[in-house]
Structure 1
Amino acid sequence: MPADQRPRFGGLVSEGGIRFAAWSQAARRLWVSIFDEQGNREIERLELQPEGEGVHARFVAGLGPGTRYGFRADGDYAPERGLWFDPDKLLIDPYAVGIDRPYAYDWRLAQRRGEGANTAPLMPKAIAAALPNPVQAAPPLYRTGGLIYEIPVRAFTMLHPDVPEKLRGTVAAIAHPVVIEHLKKLGVGAVELMPVTASIDERHLPPLGLRNAWGYNPVTFMALDPRLAPGGIMDLRNTVAALREAGIGVILDLVFNHTSESDRLGPTLSLRGFDSQAYYRQTPDGRLANDTGTGNTVACDHPVVQEMVLDTLRHFVRDAGVDGFRFDLAPILGRVEGTFDAEAPLLNAMREDALLADRVLIAEPWDIGPDGYQLGKFRTPFLEWNDKYRDDVRRFWRGDAGMVGALATRLAGSSDVFATKRQSASRTVNFIAAHDGMTLADIVRYERKHNEANGEQNRDGHNENLSWNNGVEGDAGDPAVVAARRIDQHALLATLFASRGTIMLTAGDEFGRTQKGNNNAYAQDNEITWLDWAARDQALEQYTVLLSTLRKAAPALSGAHFLTGLPLAGSDMPDVAWLTETGAPLDEQSWQDPQRHRLVMILGGASDDQSRLAVLINGDRRACMFSLPERDGSFWAPALETGETMDISRPVSGRTVIFMIERIAAQAGTREKRNGGS
């Protein structure tokens, strides 16, 4: 299908009426239910006509934009064979681009056929919409090597004192001038919005008084959540335009690996009721495959599912103008008959589609299915979340033995993961912390997770967080402990901004947000996840701003090509040199020393005049002396103006990262005092 052509399914508004179209290979009958303007009363139920190859459709004259509707399907009811047909279940249109109210979980949505009544009163209704004219085509603003800022949309502004109360917690709030000012100050290249499509709470949450705060539990893929975007696609479109005007791209975090219909005990809301055998992968014995840990797995190797995914991506590019997408549990999208294939039809179609080929594509390269860990296995242009980076950096700063070599590899772009004969640039997305796991501040505050508020007796979430607590678990009144934690946060942030490839920062980590040790806060739509703007650590925030400014100004830091130690083009200067704290090259014995916690990285081509940038890393808790190699006519000076000038002719304190820039002296032989900033 040409990229500019609208989808063939859904409630398609045209002059004179609406064509309703849905797909099911196994249903015997399908209907469209038309509702009143409030979406409460079913006005009529009209049967769709089979058109061949699973397509069922009907044109209804006299209807227009704003019509509320849903579908119903009938056929065999045999859950043990993956058949869930029940005409009492109102089904949301998989192609709905808007719904009239949020989803609310109700146990009656999961009742078996014959046990329950009509679920229409429990379900939102799809809203037939005349979509706006396409956004004027423009290349993505984001470029590899920049800073991606991960945003939990609702939590981001719920407590922001300068955002109008009626906007807080919405997509529109991200376009508010005070928020854009913050993003620009941080040097954000693109925001990555955690899921904004309509989702529903998992069935165990309402009895606990909890609700899903992250949105990784979608019903369908196109309709935005009315709580986040009450104005529908135009809210997203206007926010994208405002951010683009400020030079910031927008990446959507999308979930195509599962839906909220869950396992055999889950609710029937959409795809299950249309044709579960086609839309979901089945095990050989007829059960729902569960490569996601959520109870079901979307069959991304089915042609109709592939069409739906591609139509969804085109919709958000064409109608909202987004820069790209991050794919949750992305190996699911590449599974063919259950086995991951980097050349899977859906992945290839994304790369080759006229509207999608230039978009930013980011894979979370793991799921829990067979051979589910696929880091480094996706093909260009996919970038990949790099959990090896996360873990190795945390291990180094925790003080684990023998981590200097691993740290250097991560700083240099993770060539052990991403280098191929055809690829000289890294596809890594480096991060210290993300939405899933401990916050950056909690990494240095809590040695163990504290998920008691989730109602699962602290059993949920990862047990190994590679975190530490500086001797005191949680909040600390001791000024020395508070200072030590800030130093550790400085070190983690400095390492991130000194790393090759794309880097990602989760909103609030720049100013010390905490979740009180909760490393799985998906169900905490409250002060545990809401960013506390009033109490933010402004000194830490300013340090992050300085790091970002330096990274953007120094090509040697923001590049995406692997560091190799070979000379740069047109120069005899190597792109990197790895040294000990004495200034000597690291030899094999030094690399293998399990007690080594210090490293110097000197980057060539730090600026247009071919000066160098030095990153001095003291991961030891003891202070030490650092020496840097000098060249005639140049001297080393602080690269960060932190107000905490440090003279490297004296011992550098432990747990510290220092950036030094090589300056060309005004006259040959001139030297200035060698100072460094921490």
Structure 2
Amino acid sequence: MSPNVFPGKPEPLGATFVDGGINFSVYSEFCDSVDLCLFDSIDSQKESQRIRMPSKTGPIWHCFLQGIKPGQLYGYRVHGPYSPEKGHRFNENKVLSDPYAKWIARLPTWHSSLFSYSRTDLQFREIPPEELLRMDTRDNAPFAALSEVIHSDFDWEQDVRPNIPWKNTIIYEAHIKGMTALHPDISPKLRGTYAGFYSEPIIRHLKKLGITTVELLPIHQCFDSLRLYNNHLTDYWGYNSLTYFSPDRRFSRSTSGIECINEFKNMIKQLHKSGIEVILDSVYNHTCENSHFGPSLSFRGIDNFSYYKLDKLDLTKYDDSTGTGNRLNVENPYVAKMILDSMKFWVTEMHIDGFRFDLARSLVRNEKVPNNIENPFLTAINSDPVFSGVKLIAEPWDLGKDGYQIGSFPKPWSEWNAQFRDCSRKFWRGDRGILGEFATRIAGSSDLFRKEGRSPYSSINYVACHDGFTLEDLVSYEKKHNAENLEQNKDGWDYSYSSNFGVEGPTTSGEILSRRDRRKRNLLTTLFISQGVPMIGAGDELGKTQKGNNNSYCQDNETNYINWDLDARYKILLEYAINLIRFRKEHSSLRRDQFFEGKLRPDHFSRDILWISETGEELVKSQWESEARKSFGFLLPPPSDNNESLNDDISNRNSSLLFLLNASEEPIDFLLTNYLGDGIWIRAFDTWEAEFDRETFSLNVGQKYRLREESMVGFHFTTAQASPIMKDKGLSYE
């Protein structure tokens, strides 16, 4: 029985359930007409009904179908010119998924009919121009993606977002499947799923570690590229989105759209109940339709000229700054609106707490407004009350011209700080001539972010993430080992600033393992004593290895899965990480709201940060500029309420911290500074040792501490009477 067709409304875009039927709305500016195609099941080889959408408001086509209910499967056929040389790829023979689809009930099945141009093979190859210009007339309906009308009625139980202040935020970058696939305490039925991620063992681990915020690798519905398909690999990371509104079905216990969506919502609700925020890594810069040789699955066939940024010199191609083959045309207000609508959907309907924008530089490329401060897309986000309090994180680069733009995003955005990552690795590797830069990174990278009223929380600090070596591999490999990606080991970074300490990969040498473990402690400790927002990669606290693969995007196997069966070494590492994060939370001087000024404070005893040498005196210019210097220390008094005044009282001095760092190959005797007056320094940790101190070890002001090679130590100050000096583990103190 055919439904009654009415004009419907242009807004909201997508398929919306209203009383008595469904309103369908799709944006296509340059097409001639749009057919709405209804399918009876995911096994359907052809639509059961094809309805010419009767109404157009501006560039939006729309209709209302009376009697249609949620659960209806649908797609679009879009009529218009097939003129790739003019930027148009319309082909009415192709069923296309809705860009606003809330659920993809059936993913595309790779077949040559998915391409709008004529080809009969699925080889991953360059296509001759004459082949690209010939329209394919075959019907792709048996192989096309099918969208589903969704109406979710979920009980959030008065869900409240944790709203963790930036100063207290500790981010944990995780993959749904990688986190849960091998966990022995999670039911096998739940491993690799949203439900597995909010299971008690995972939440217990996150809480014990001290995590406040989980940053999930992409969970928008993705689709494997042709190259991966041909090589029997998968888009494991998920950075090739098919739609920006549907959760990825890979991570659901069910094939039902409603059940998957509710499973995702339950994950958010349970994490919120545990006080944990959720940030989504979102890939709004490109889609899974790949290059101009790629398939027509959705955007390309609906309106290629509008959705994508085309090459001005050759409209058959794309202006690709992402390295993926295409780039969304965010300068088009309707494309920008789609991204904003997607963000609003995930905030209001799915209750997520923030976004990390993959290759965010591509989103703000604008020929008319090159300045990010005035960028219309960023302005639209920053001025929308829906996003007030939502965490916004940019990956501030892409692969195009002038692609590296760290520090260019406006308040209240934060940015991944790759310079912190690289400089930390270089310092602890023993590189020369970087002392000044390393100190700047520890202090919050004011050279990058001190403008437009921004704060140290603009810097997302990390030493390892999904992209590159894990922390374990960073100290075990000097070369990438990406052969299993089947790209002849050409993919991934060649410059990781890593060390293997004499053996590439696994070793049984106790000396090498000891040095590797110490390097991991040095890097983690640097991360958590630095100003800014720390982010740790999931599993780095557990010794996760990818066996030297520094680009594991296509490995849906144990290469990426966290191994929870810990030996003694990794149990010690986990306990160290737990204590380290607790230490950060206990000391507000590690979580400042404003950048250091380096000026004397009114309390007379110190600057807001004091950089010192092994003599206990302030570092001078010649020492900063020394190529050979690989050691220094810094004193942190507690932050004052307004960063301008602080009463000189005992409680304030007792909150002061002292850190000494030695990346050289020789031990150094550090004189413990007397800038705070009489008192003692109580050791909190020394990375030469595998564990945080379990007993009080203290030294009087004016004594020396022997800091071993390739290690760092942290003290806190007290004005209490000097306690007995302890001789500890054979080390010499004066």
> Quick check: TM above 0.5?
yes
Q: Any stretches of 5+ residues in structure 1 without a counterpart?
A: none
Offset at residue 176 of structure 1 (A): 0.7
Q: Residue 582 of structure 2 corresponds to which residue in structure 1? A: 549
Q: Residue 97 of structure 1 corresponds to which residue in structure 2? A: 102
Q: Structure 1 pair 270/337, CA: closer, same or farther in 2 (3 Å)?
A: farther
1:323 aligns with 2:353: yes
- Aligned with residue 188 of structure 1, among 211, 220, 227: 211
For 2:378, give the aligned amino acid.
L
For 2:91, give the aligned amino acid.
D
Q: Structure 1 pair 165/349, CA: closer, same or farther in 2 (3 Å)?
A: same
Q: Residue 405 of structure 2 corresponds to which residue in structure 1? A: 374
Deviation sequence 1:205-262 (CA, Å, 0-9, x none): 1222211110001111111111113433322221111111111111011011000111
- Aligned with residue 520 of structure 2, among 474, 486, 489: 489
Aligned-pair identity (%) = 36
**What CA distance in whole angstroms lies between the structure 2 residues aligned with 1:337 and 1:328?**
20
Offset at residue 354 of structure 1 (A): 1.3
**What CA distance in whole angstroms lies between the structure 2 residues aligned with 1:568 and 1:45?**
75
Offset at residue 100 of structure 1 (A): 1.4
Q: Structure 1 pair 603/98, CA: closer, same or farther in 2 (3 Å)?
A: same
**What CA distance in whole angstroms lies between the structure 2 residues aligned with 1:73 and 1:593?**
66
Q: Residue 175 of structure 2 corresponds to which residue in structure 1? A: 152
1:142 aligns with 2:127: no
**What CA distance in whole angstroms lies between the structure 1 residues aligned with 2:108 and 2:615?**
62
Q: Structure 1 pair 527/133, CA: closer, same or farther in 2 (3 Å)?
A: closer
Say which is worse superposed, 62-71 or 618-627, in terms of deviation. Answer: 618-627
**What CA distance in whole angstroms lies between the structure 2 residues aligned with 1:421 and 1:239?**
37
Q: Residue 178 of structure 1 corresponds to which residue in structure 2? A: 201
1:276 aligns with 2:314: no
- Aligned with residue 294 of structure 1, among 292, 301, 324: 324
Would the aligned equivalents of 2:209 and 2:581 in 1 still touch at CA under 8 Å? yes
Q: Structure 1 pair 472/556, CA: closer, same or farther in 2 (3 Å)?
A: same
Q: Any stretches of 5+ residues in structure 2 without a counterpart?
A: 1-8, 119-134, 641-650, 686-690
Deviation sequence 1:585-609 (CA, Å, 0-9, x none): 1011111111111111111018964
**What CA distance in whole angstroms lies between the structure 1 residues aligned with 2:186 and 2:546?**
22
- Aligned with residue 470 of structure 1, among 501, 505, 519: 501
Q: Residue 659 of structure 1 corresponds to which residue in structure 2? A: 714
* Equivalent residue runs for 1:161-172 within 5 Å: 161-172=184-195
For 1:629, give the aligned amino acid.
T
For 1:34, give the aligned amino acid.
L
1:242 aligns with 2:259: no
Q: Residue 54 of structure 2 corresponds to which residue in structure 1? A: 49
Would the aligned equivalents of 1:142 and 1:360 in 2 still touch at CA under 8 Å? no
1:258 aligns with 2:313: no
- Using CA pairs below 8 Å that are at least 6 residues apart, which structure has the higher relative contact order? 1
For 1:158, give the aligned amino acid.
A
Deviation sequence 1:640-672 (CA, Å, 0-9, x none): 47257777755322111211111231xxx5444
Would the aligned equivalents of 1:144 and 1:560 in 2 still touch at CA under 8 Å? no
**What CA distance in whole angstroms lies between the structure 2 residues aligned with 1:265 and 1:165?**
40
Higher-Rg structure is 2
Offset at residue 71 of structure 1 (A): 1.1
For 1:289, give the aligned amino acid.
D
* Equivalent residue runs for 1:359-508 within 5 Å: 359-420=390-451, 422-508=453-539
Q: Structure 1 pair 567/97, CA: closer, same or farther in 2 (3 Å)?
A: farther
Offset at residue 119 of structure 1 (A): 1.9
- Aligned with residue 638 of structure 1, among 683, 686, 690: 683
TM-score, length basis structure 1:
0.94
Would the aligned equivalents of 1:103 and 1:199 in 2 still touch at CA under 8 Å? no
Q: Describe the SS at the equivalent of 1:178.
A: helix
**What CA distance in whole angstroms lies between the structure 1 residues aligned with 2:395 and 2:514?**
34
Deviation sequence 1:517-559 (CA, Å, 0-9, x none): 1111101111111111114611111111111000011001122
**What CA distance in whole angstroms lies between the structure 1 residues aligned with 2:86 and 2:727?**
72
**What CA distance in whole angstroms lies between the structure 1 residues aligned with 2:55 and 2:192?**
43
Q: Structure 1 pair 486/395, CA: closer, same or farther in 2 (3 Å)?
A: same
1:11 aligns with 2:63: no
**What CA distance in whole angstroms lies between the structure 2 residues aligned with 1:279 and 1:369?**
19
Q: Describe the SS at the equivalent of 1:336.
A: coil
Q: Structure 1 pair 272/172, CA: closer, same or farther in 2 (3 Å)?
A: same
Q: Structure 1 pair 187/413, CA: closer, same or farther in 2 (3 Å)?
A: same
Q: Residue 539 of structure 1 corresponds to which residue in structure 2? A: 572
Q: Describe the SS at the equivalent of 1:30.
A: strand
Offset at residue 134 of structure 1 (A): 9.4
Offset at residue 102 of structure 1 (A): 4.2
Say which is worse superposed, 211-220 or 7-16, in terms of deviation. Answer: 7-16
Q: Residue 25 of structure 1 corresponds to which residue in structure 2? A: 29
- Aligned with residue 251 of structure 2, among 221, 224, 228: 228
**What CA distance in whole angstroms lies between the structure 2 residues aligned with 1:133 and 1:353?**
25
Deviation sequence 1:117-148 (CA, Å, 0-9, x none): 32222233211112447966856523223211
* Equivalent residue runs for 1:482-631 within 5 Å: 482-535=513-566, 537-567=570-600, 573-605=606-638, 609-611=652-654, 612-630=656-674, 631=676
For 1:162, give the aligned amino acid.
D
Would the aligned equivalents of 2:233 and 2:555 in 1 still touch at CA under 8 Å? yes
Q: Residue 69 of structure 1 corresponds to which residue in structure 2? A: 74
**What CA distance in whole angstroms lies between the structure 1 residues aligned with 2:413 and 2:200?**
32
**What CA distance in whole angstroms lies between the structure 1 residues aligned with 2:443 and 2:148?**
50
Q: Structure 1 pair 124/660, CA: closer, same or farther in 2 (3 Å)?
A: same
Would the aligned equivalents of 2:31 and 2:90 in 1 still touch at CA under 8 Å? yes
Q: Describe the SS at the equivalent of 1:406.
A: helix
Q: Structure 1 pair 324/574, CA: closer, same or farther in 2 (3 Å)?
A: same
Deviation sequence 1:308-352 (CA, Å, 0-9, x none): 111101100111111110000101221223874312111111101
For 2:659, give the aligned amino acid.
V
- Aligned with residue 305 of structure 1, among 335, 338, 344: 335
Offset at residue 426 of structure 1 (A): 4.3
For 1:636, give the aligned amino acid.
W
Offset at residue 6 of structure 1 (A): 11
Q: Structure 1 pair 105/548, CA: closer, same or farther in 2 (3 Å)?
A: farther
Q: Describe the SS at the equivalent of 1:191.
A: strand
**What CA distance in whole angstroms lies between the structure 2 residues aligned with 1:513 and 1:36?**
46
Would the aligned equivalents of 1:426 and 1:562 in 2 still touch at CA under 8 Å? no
**What CA distance in whole angstroms lies between the structure 1 residues aligned with 2:186 and 2:614?**
47
**What CA distance in whole angstroms lies between the structure 1 residues aligned with 2:377 and 2:705?**
58
For 2:669, give the aligned amino acid.
M
- Aligned with residue 673 of structure 1, among 705, 716, 725: 725
Q: Describe the SS at the equivalent of 2:629.
A: coil
**What CA distance in whole angstroms lies between the structure 2 residues aligned with 1:526 and 1:670?**
55
Q: Structure 1 pair 105/393, CA: closer, same or farther in 2 (3 Å)?
A: farther
**What CA distance in whole angstroms lies between the structure 2 residues aligned with 1:44 and 1:251?**
40
Q: Describe the SS at the equivalent of 1:256.
A: coil
Would the aligned equivalents of 2:160 and 2:272 in 1 still touch at CA under 8 Å? no
**What CA distance in whole angstroms lies between the structure 1 residues aligned with 2:112 and 2:711?**
54
Q: Structure 1 pair 107/620, CA: closer, same or farther in 2 (3 Å)?
A: farther
TM-score, length basis structure 2:
0.87
Q: Structure 1 pair 296/651, CA: closer, same or farther in 2 (3 Å)?
A: same
Q: Residue 348 of structure 1 corresponds to which residue in structure 2? A: 379
